[in-house]
Structure 1
Amino acid sequence: MIKFFRKIRQRMLKENRATRYTIYALGEIVLVVIGILIALQIDNLNERNKIKKLEQQLLKGLLTEFESNLQLLDDAIYLNNANIENSIRLGEYTGPSISDINEKELSQLMVGIFKNEPRFSPNQGTVQEVINSGRLSILSNAQLRKAISSWQSTLETVKRQENYVVERRDVGHDFFLKEGNFRRHVDLIDDALLDAKPSKFPNNNFKFLEQQEFESQLYLFIVASRNLDVAFYEPLKKRIEQIIELIKNDIL
């Protein structure tokens, strides 16, 4: 093709047809420019397709991750609510004097409060990959980009409240450890991790239930746990559900 245009150009020069040659030369330049623009357009289109394909891969990974995290959060909510329920039941036994103590029943109740630790520990592999690799900008949805970029700070806020709840739980647990017999407790409960054999010490009398300080610490734990559920877990669940919806809307 280039040789063809060169021959035409040379023939025009020999025939001294300068005007036609100029027009032809301009036309040739235009064709070259058009060719370059077409090539650039094709390159841009290929690059956009490549980015779109990568975006779809990231979206599918994020969807799997957040759907899994939603289930993990539901598990944490379940444990937290179980702690609240069992703590309220234990609160029925607190007071200046207690009687008719069923040692095994109360031991089982203590397990329901102090064994389970509600913690939301989400999977973050894809989120961290998106952020650390600088691929956040690949996500075309601005609302989704904002939600992903603020995800870590949201988790840190929830974690602080979880830590506070666990601290309150441990304070209450210390009353039992100091004034009760943990060996007898392990021997009585149904899901003990070892066969402790009966203790030679007297039965647990749960006298700490008669202490006003224990009752205060117990109800502070209940309030903190309820606050974790209402002010932290429930909004977090809505945020995860919103993120899942945003991702689904962008998956082709």
Structure 2
Amino acid sequence: MIKFFRKIRQRLLTENKFSKYLIYAIGEIVLVVIGILIALQVNNWNQRQQFKELSSIYIEDFKREINSDIVALSKRIASNERMTQNVNAILTTLATKNELSKEEATLFFEQNELLMRESYFIPETGAFKQLDANGNASLILSKNLRDNLYQYYTLNDRNEKNGEISTQLYQHNFISVNILSELITREFLENKIGNSLNRPRLDLETLRQSTTYLGALLAKREITVSQNRQYKNIKEKAENLLELLTSY
């Protein structure tokens, strides 16, 4: 094709047809410009397609991870509600009973042991960390959606660093220790290891008079209720964010 155009130029020059050569040269320039414009359009189209594809990948990743957060939060909320019910059941037993049957004592120990379990919400953050680290926030064209994403992940980060960690430490160092120390009675050890080790029998009055034990029970209830308030707040924001992502 290049040889073909070169031959035309040479023939026009040798025949001294300068005006026709000029027209031809202008036409050739126009063709080159058109070719460049077409190439730019194709390149822009390819970039737009890549942009859309990468944006869609992020949106789907966010939807999957936030839905996972909602499921995890629902489980944590339900578990904490059972924990609060356990505390209330123990307090009711202390308020209404003086002695417990073997079956009642077994249930009482189980209710106390459950209080030593801990709730900890670990959010999914892979998609957001990748988006933020790669500077790809511009892939989310909606400012409202982008702002909500940053608010949600900032809230989760703050909750984990300032809420969950301090709750874990308090649970380990105070609540679990003070509950367990009061539970190690003759009946408890016989149930656990088959030997009483000559420990005193379970005495509900002793538990009622134990400030450390009652303090641990009340602290567990307050912490669990507070934790659930935060979980419900995060879950509500996650559900709203999932709606925005779905409609994006």
Which residue number corresponds to residue 46 of structure 1?
46
Deviation at 1:217, TM superposition (A): 4.4
Deviation at 1:98, TM superposition (A): 6.5
AA paired with 1:118?
Answer: S
Does residue 223 of the first structure (1) align with residue 222 of the second (2)?
A: yes
- Distance in 1 between the 2:12 and 2:46 partners? 40
Which residue number corresponds to residue 66 of structure 2?
66
Q: 1:144–1:243: 8 Å Cα contact kept in structure 2? A: yes
Judge which range, 30-39 or 144-153, deviates more: 144-153
- Distance in 2 between the 1:173 and 1:94 partners? 19
Q: Which structure shows the bigger proportion of residues in helix conformation?
A: 2
- Distance in 2 between the 1:164 and 1:183 partners? 34
AA paired with 2:99?
Answer: D
- Distance in 2 between the 1:217 and 1:73 partners? 25
Q: TM-score, normalised by structure 1?
A: 0.79
AA paired with 1:56?
Answer: S
Residues 183 and 157 from structure 1, CA distance in 2 versus in 1: closer, same or farther, beyond 3 angstroms? Answer: farther
Which residue number corresponds to residue 128 of structure 2?
127
Q: 2:179–2:217: 8 Å Cα contact kept in structure 1? A: no
Which residue number corresponds to residue 99 of structure 1?
98
Does residue 178 of the first structure (1) align with residue 181 of the second (2)?
A: yes
Q: Could you tell me which runs of 5 or more consecutive residues in structure 2 were left unpaired when the two chains were aligned.
A: none
Map 1:145-184 → 2, pairs under 5 A: 145-159=146-160, 160-170=162-172, 171-181=174-184, 184=187
Which residue number corresponds to residue 198 of structure 1?
195
Judge which range, 62-71 or 18-27, deviates more: 18-27
Which residue number corresponds to residue 208 of structure 1?
207
Deviation at 1:213, TM superposition (A): 5.3
What percent identity do the matched residue pairs reach?
A: 27
Deviation at 1:67, TM superposition (A): 1.8
Judge which range, 240-249 or 97-106, deviates more: 97-106
Which residue number corresponds to residue 33 of structure 2?
33
Q: 2:175–2:219: 8 Å Cα contact kept in structure 1? A: no
What is the total number of aligned residue pairs between the two structures?
Answer: 241
Q: TM-score, normalised by structure 2?
A: 0.80
- Distance in 1 between the 2:126 and 2:187 partners? 43
Q: Matched residue of 1:244: which SS? A: helix
- Distance in 1 between the 2:34 and 2:165 partners? 65
Select 2:232's aligned residue among 211, 221, 234.
234
Which residue number corresponds to residue 246 of structure 2?
248
- Distance in 1 between the 2:149 and 2:89 partners? 40
Q: Could you tell me which runs of 5 or more consecutive residues in structure 1 were left unpaired when the two chains were aligned.
A: 189-194
Select 1:110's aligned residue among 104, 109, 112.
112
Q: 1:168–1:220: 8 Å Cα contact kept in structure 2? A: no
Deviation at 1:73, TM superposition (A): 1.2
- Distance in 2 between the 1:94 and 1:33 partners? 90
- Distance in 1 between the 2:145 and 2:193 partners? 53
Deviation at 1:238, TM superposition (A): 1.6
Residues 88 and 172 from structure 1, CA distance in 2 versus in 1: closer, same or farther, beyond 3 angstroms? Answer: same
